[in-house]
A and B are shown apart, each in its own frame.
Chain A
């Protein structure tokens, strides 16, 4: 009896995790460069009450045994790195990646983090920064008197200054790619950190190493699909309810057994 109770509890915990993940996805449906997560589950190790292939005592062998499972567990909440929709903004410092690469930014501690959110700004010194004020790596400085800024698909940033007709190159945006982007650690603020699971970043100019090109005047929207999240929410909720009913059923059995 306790087995069923514990098993149902693992099921409820799993559905709870799935609803938590769905809630975070839904909350970030309009977050630039957001990547949805997906909870994955596995069944737990089985308790073998009678091993398959055992003898039945009269010279026969059991074709199948009796194995009772003990529930489920969350194995991963993987980020799904599927391209989000590109939204045209017209902003000259709005840049979207069309492909698998990430922009690199320097966090206050000095370590490099990775992001898909290309809604850049300039700080007081004209340095290219994220909306949180973190410097873009490699550093690009845009003079205050620049009339226009152009970012080419291969990441070259050029400006024109007043009274000049030719543009001047001021920097190069590079992208970082990972063998296993699903293994990146989400740091919040649209940032990801490299881990042993993601592998070392492969840094290159846009358009090389399969990292994709950049598009100026566009931002990458969240890759959350509201309809899919709703379906996940409904199935998790129903599964949670059924697990709850298992607990009730087990409790009912115990009560009926003990009552007179």
Chain B
């Protein structure tokens, strides 16, 4: 028996799992502020087992799934509470589980004037070590949001949206509902480089074309592994037939 068939099998399994990630990217092609996941793979050496003839047998396995940080394109909506971030910052929101971060700027004001995301989480105001939710006057006719995130309601400043950034590589992990949370030990910092654009929203950074490209790559790779498995099967079959016939 050739052991190579197991390497090809591990490759096929990895691509099958990769399809789940591509499927999630594509399903979120129209989710405002969504960022795609990219899987990368690694080679693992098979553990030395008794009875294994070939100790150099290699498998492929998921290495990690990273968040694609490329910004999505912006679309103009004209909505007074729609904001897009131009830069690598995040809007900080308050959830039951603590502070979370999002790029989804389709905000709304609740009946008490609290600025919230579509999911209902309160947008935090910049200010010291204990940020509070941003509250606007309920009957504000004119709301202006400056590029630094400061909000004026009818000409009166009411606060500034807490926009933060993080140091280091891949500081955030996804928490679902277009929210992200920090990995342990990463602290947010006030972001002065990111501009807040009123009247715009950030599209998902995956679109039909890039989604299709990912999909084709996955199916073709899977197909290739499938062919390799078939080839091994044929070799084994021939070996058994021909060597078997001679004895």
Interface residues of A (CB under 8 A from B): 1, 3-5, 7-8, 10-11, 14-15, 18, 38, 40-46, 49-50, 52-53, 62-72, 75-76, 78, 80, 82, 99-100, 177-180, 182-183, 196-200, 202, 209-212, 235-236, 238-239, 241-243, 245-246, 249-250, 252-253, 256-257
Contact = CB atoms under 8 A, between A and B. Distances in A.
B31 A46 contact: no
B46 interface: no
Contact of B223 (A14, A41, A45, A256): A256
Contacts of A211: 139, 141
Contact of B21 (A69, A198, A239): A69
Nearest to B174: A46
Contact of A67 (B37, B118, B211): B37
Nearest to A62: B64
A82 B79 contact: yes
Contacts of A178: 111
Interface string B146-177: 00000000100000000000000110011111
B94 interface: no
A183 B118 contact: no
A255 to B, nearest CB: 10
Given A66-B64, A82-B78, A180 B111 contact: yes
Contact of A243 (B26, B77, B142, B207): B26
Contacts of B66: 64
A53 B183 contact: yes
Contacts of A42: 31, 104, 118-119, 176-178
A8 B111 contact: no
B98 interface: no
Given A4-B19, A4-B20, A249 B27 contact: no
B62 A182 contact: no
A210 B29 contact: no
Contacts, number: 209
The 9 A-B pairs of least Cβ separation, nearest first, read A210-B141, A199-B111, A11-B27, A69-B24, A45-B176, A238-B208, A179-B138, A7-B23, A239-B29
B208 A239 contact: yes
Prevailing SS type, chain B contact patch: mixed
Contact of B26 (A46, A49, A52, A242): A242
Interface in B163-206: 169-170, 173-178, 183-184
Contacts of A210: 139-142, 154
A238 B211 CA distance: 10
A66 B65 contact: yes
A180 B16 contact: no
A197 B110 CA distance: 6
Contacts of A43: 24, 28, 31, 34, 174, 176-178
A12 to B, nearest CB: 8
Contacts of A239: 26, 29-30, 207-208, 211
Given A43-B24, A52-B183, A69-B21, A99 B138 contact: no
Given A179-B138, A253-B16, A11 B26 contact: yes
